[in-house]
Amino acid sequence: MNWTEIFSTAVTLFLVLDSLGNIPVFNAILSRLEPARRTRVIAREMLIALGILVGFLFAGNAIMAFLGLTQPSLNITGGVLLFIISMRMIFPGRHQYNSDDEQDPFIVPIAVPLTAGPSTIAILLFLGSSQPGRIWEWCIALILAWLATTVLLVLSPKVLSLIGERGSRALERLMGMILVILAIQMSLNGIREFIQSL
């Protein structure tokens, strides 16, 4: 196993999962819940999200074959989605979720789309289909990113009180800038593969 690449992929997935950017949203949605119940809800929703993401990772080849997708198209699409997500991280607008939503949300919006969002799914489809022989390495990377995200979200009230909303926004924008670079590189790889296939 190439642990360097596993950790590199885990960091990328952690950035795409945008846990720091989701901290204020999670706090707004779960603000009315007692701390113990809040932890249970986060654990449940994160487990559901992990199940969905692992499913897409392992079904990558089958989904691409069924839909007739090519590797370059998935690369370019993943890059575009990453770029959109990173722009939202750098220039955040108003979130549509607030504390008036359901007191105990189920699947939506915490598991999907805040955690298992389209950009994360696109990257997992790409990983699972481009190098299927390394599927278990990608699975380890996903679990590492998921664990870091889950721990951060469970501790989100303390994190938010420690760094404040301004600190959270600053870190989110920094992560967004890193994702912009990854998004452009991903799209360029897809364009190069498409040109070579002509």
Residue 176 exposed, middle or buried by CB count within 10 Å (0-12, 13-18, 19+): buried
* Residues 162-184: tens digit of each pLDDT: 887 788 778 778 878 888 888 89
User: Which stretch, 53-67, 68-82, 167-181, has highest mean pLDDT?
Assistant: 53-67
Q: What is the pLDDT of residue 101?
A: 46
Q: What is the pLDDT of residue 182?
A: 81
Q: What total number of domains does the chain contain?
A: 1
Q: Which domain holds residue 129?
A: 3-197
In this prediction, residues 32-45 reach a mean pLDDT of 91
Determine the Cα–Cα distance for residues 107 and 48; give it in Å rounded to an integer: 7
Dihedral angle over CA of 154, 92, 122, 7, nearest 10: -50
Determine the Cα–Cα distance for residues 188 and 80; give it in Å rounded to an integer: 11
* Residues 121-177: tens digit of each pLDDT: 888 988 888 888 899 999 999 999 999 999 999 998 888 788 877 887 787 788 788
Judge contact between 42 and 110, C-beta under 8 A: yes
In this prediction, residues 18-45 reach a mean pLDDT of 85
> How many CB atoms are closer than 10 A to CB 181?
11
